[in-house]
């Protein structure tokens, strides 16, 4: 492949993957002779294209790296799209997302000319465990399933910390040693952030202890303000409230009532509404309104206590599954 595009939401993972890719492309050769790198807010795409179109000198190839490619608008992509229609065989062009939303036209052009790599970790727990094992293996660290699962659970949405943990494990135990959960436990650090839907899923399932643990991780590991947690809960229950009185019987009818596309979120919301019922949703909205006032000074309780009481009460509205 002569053209590479790396995408992803976590800057740390994206940066590490870009470093690994460029190191692989350079191999044992002299990086200073091979690599032209463009970074920051000053460079223009025309400069990137000029470098990519330049024949190598004293080497058999050139590696051109352009970071934060998302900062360019669709109108500014002309020179790059022109190059991607006929890329030079002697140039390895590495485009790294960031700086803004990546135009679809660019992703499509790279997919036709080369390869697009999504660096985001998988969402499903089993897939994420396998991903952690694979990433560790790339750096010479072997994890058994329990160790990889423990790391994935602890890091949550903070997978950008994985590279640092793997580096410490490699320097501590050496390469090729199979590590267990007890081996990695002392190196995991603070529990990371968790996705908002895992938090609301725990509430919907009536799992009070799990919901409180996840809220704590969102507020501490994720550094989310209580009002941000309130906004997540408000969105969740207002969406359910839109199903009240519409007698939705199918995923499509539920999606139409909530103003979203048919799919798993609509199906899940319909199931949650059917378990709670209209009365349960109204009680949830009332609890949110009272907690919002408490957060703004209606009570002497600190904000974390207010949120703990709210989450505990919300989780008790739904029958435990």
Residue 321 has pLDDT above 60, yes or no: no
Q: How far apart are CA 136 and CA 159, in angstroms?
A: 12
To the nearest whole percent, how much of the chain has pLDDT over 90?
63
What is 166-203 written as a DSSP string?
A: HHHHHHHH-TT-EE-HHHHGGG--S-----HHHHHHHH
* Confidence label for 200 from pLDDT (cuts 50, 70 and 90): very high
Phi, psi of 293 (to 5 degrees): -65, -40
The answer to whether the CB of 96 falls within 8 A of the CB of 66 is yes
The answer to whether the CB of 144 falls within 8 A of the CB of 177 is no
pLDDT of residue 147: 96
Lowest mean pLDDT among 163-167, 188-192, 260-264, 277-281: 188-192
**CATH 3.40.50.300 boundaries in the chain:** 3-118
pLDDT of residue 93: 96
Architecture of the CATH domain 196-317: Up-down Bundle (1.20)
The answer to whether the CB of 115 falls within 8 A of the CB of 3 is yes
Which CATH number among 1.10.8.60, 3.30.300.30, 3.40.605.10, 3.40.50.720 corresponds to the domain 125-187?
Answer: 1.10.8.60
Pairing of strands 115-118, 142-143: unpaired
69 contact partners, CB below 8 Å, separation of at least 6: 5, 95, 96, 97, 98, 99, 102, 106
pLDDT of residue 261: 87
**CATH 1.20.272.10 boundaries in the chain:** 196-317
Residue 130 has pLDDT above 60, yes or no: yes
**CATH 1.10.8.60 boundaries in the chain:** 125-187
* Confidence label for 296 from pLDDT (cuts 50, 70 and 90): confident
Q: How far is CA 132 from the centre of its chain?
A: 14
Q: Quick check: helix, strand or coil at residue 220? A: helix
Residue 186 has pLDDT above 60, yes or no: yes
pLDDT of residue 78: 93
The DSSP letter of residue 243 is T
Q: What is the CATH class of 3-118?
A: alpha beta
Q: How far apart are CA 161 and CA 12, in angstroms?
A: 8
Q: Quick check: helix, strand or coil at residue 19? A: helix
Residue 221 has pLDDT above 80, yes or no: no
CA distances 131 to 6, 27, 124, 126, Å, are 17, 24, 10, 9
Q: How far apart are CA 247 and CA 253, in angstroms?
A: 9
Q: List pLDDT tens digits, range 99-124.
A: 888 888 999 999 999 999 999 999 88
pLDDT of residue 57: 86
pLDDT of residue 320: 59
Residue 169 has pLDDT above 90, yes or no: yes
Strand partners, 118: 7
Q: How far is CA 191 from the centre of its chain?
A: 16
Q: How far is CA 159 from the centre of its chain?
A: 8
Predicted structure pTM score? 0.68
* Confidence label for 232 from pLDDT (cuts 50, 70 and 90): very high
Residue 225 has pLDDT above 80, yes or no: yes
């Amino acid at each position: 492949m002569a053209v590479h595009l790396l995408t992803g939401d976590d800057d740390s993972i994206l940066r590490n993957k870009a470093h690994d890719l460029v190191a692989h492309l350079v191999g044992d050769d002299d990086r200073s002779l091979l690599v032209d790198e463009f970074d920051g807010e000053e460079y223009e795409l025309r400069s990137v294209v000029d470098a990519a179109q330049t024949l190598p000198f004293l080497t058999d190839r050139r590696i051109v790296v352009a970071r934060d490619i998302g900062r360019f608008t669709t109108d500014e992509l002309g020179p790059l799209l022109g190059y991607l229609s006929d890329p030079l065989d002697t140039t390895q062009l590495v485009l790294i997302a960031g700086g803004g939303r990546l135009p679809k036209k660019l992703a499509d052009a790279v997919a036709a000319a080369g390869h697009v790599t999504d660096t985001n970790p998988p969402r499903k727990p089993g897939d994420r465990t396998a991903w952690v094992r694979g990433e560790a293996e790339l750096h010479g660290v072997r994890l058994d399933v329990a160790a990889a699962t423990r790391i994935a659970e602890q890091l949550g949405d903070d997978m950008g910390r994985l590279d640092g943990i793997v580096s410490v494990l490699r320097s501590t135990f050496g390469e090729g040693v199979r590590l267990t959960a007890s081996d990695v436990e002392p190196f995991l650090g603070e529990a990371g952030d968790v996705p908002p839907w895992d938090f609301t899923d725990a509430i919907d399932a009536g799992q009070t202890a799990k919901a409180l643990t996840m809220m704590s991780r969102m507020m501490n590991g994720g550094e989310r303000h209580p009002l941000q947690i309130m906004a997540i809960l408000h969105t969740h229950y207002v969406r359910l409230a839109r199903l009240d009185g519409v007698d939705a019987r199918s995923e499509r009818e539920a999606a139409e009532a909530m103003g979203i596309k048919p799919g798993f979120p609509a199906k899940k919301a319909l199931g949650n509404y059917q378990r709670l019922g209209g009365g349960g949703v109204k009680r949830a909205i009332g609890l949110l309104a009272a907690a919002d006032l408490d957060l703004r000074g209606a009570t002497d309780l600190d904000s974390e206590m207010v949120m703990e009481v709210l989450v505990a009460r919300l989780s008790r509205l739904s029958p435990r599954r």
